[in-house]
């Protein structure tokens, strides 16, 4: 039995059949005026580069857990990134349509396409990969999977999907919160390292994440618990 069927239904609404054009990197040309002559000056905007801390693990088991989490995160991140891109494109298209009937028809066309092209791939995800995907969808869109289904389909469908997901220990209402959840911090660490070594294409999160604050909190040595005599 596959754990991720209901998330595939979410993608059937969000993803679009059309490919967006790829934005190429470009430089910005400014002009300086010196003694009446205009001189073009080219500037290049550089992305902020995080100085990532060295990885330290308490033991071999912790290292193995990180490696497994990294493999799963790298696998599902592209789906979350695609969801954010298509959600924006879908919303722009729906805003152009005036009649509710046209909006419903357009969403149905997208749903049929994605169910044929993407559902089989998403159903291959495991339970833990589904949990990570739900978190990353929130990271990239700023909304939980539950809220997105509710907005794009209906409140009843969102309730039903979430109830079904809970049977497999997956909450569609789960948010990405690296400052309060250690696993989310590790996911963010994995993403930042993958962005820097170009394993993944960077997409900024939908909300601010203070990576250094998270690192300072979770990198501190854990105080061993005291045992009572």
Inform me whether the pLDDT recorded for 157 exceeds 70. no
Inform me whether the pLDDT recorded for 210 exceeds 80. yes
Of the two residues 38 and 102, the one the predictor is more confident about is: 102
* Weakest-pLDDT range from 42-51, 86-95, 124-133: 42-51
Inform me whether the pLDDT recorded for 177 exceeds 90. yes
9/89 Cα distance (integer angstroms) = 18
Q: What pLDDT, on a 0 to 100 scale, did the predictor assign at position 23?
A: 46
- Provide φ and ψ at 13, rounded to 5°: -95, -40
Residue 40: both structure tokens together: 């073009």
Q: Please provide the distance, in angstroms rounded to a whole number, between the alpha carbons at the two ends of the chain.
A: 48
Please give the share of the chain, as a percent, with pLDDT higher than 70: 60
């Amino acid at each position: 039995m596959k754990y991720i069927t209901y998330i595939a239904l979410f993608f059937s609404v969000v993803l679009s059949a059309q490919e967006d054009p790829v934005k190429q990197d470009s430089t910005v040309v400014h002009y300086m005026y010196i003694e009446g002559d205009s001189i073009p000056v080219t500037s290049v905007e550089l992305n902020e580069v995080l100085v990532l801390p060295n990885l330290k693990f308490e033991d071999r088991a912790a290292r193995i857990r990180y490696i497994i989490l990294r493999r799963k995160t790298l696998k599902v991140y592209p789906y979350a990134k695609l969801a954010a891109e298509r959600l924006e494109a879908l919303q722009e298209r729906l805003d152009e349509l005036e009649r509710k009937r046209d909006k419903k028809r357009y969403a149905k066309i997208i749903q049929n396409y994605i169910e044929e092209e993407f559902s089989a791939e998403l159903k291959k995800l495991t339970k833990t990969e589904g949990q990570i995907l739900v978190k990353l969808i929130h990271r990239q869109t700023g909304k939980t999977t539950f809220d997105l289904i509710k907005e794009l389909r209906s409140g009843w469908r969102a309730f039903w999907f979430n109830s079904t997901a809970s049977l497999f220990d997956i909450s569609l209402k789960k948010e990405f919160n690296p400052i309060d959840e250690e696993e989310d911090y590790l996911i963010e660490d994995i993403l930042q390292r993958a962005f820097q070594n170009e394993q993944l294409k960077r997409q900024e999160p939908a909300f601010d994440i203070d990576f250094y604050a998270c690192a300072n909190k979770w990198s501190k040595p854990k105080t061993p618990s005291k045992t009572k005599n």
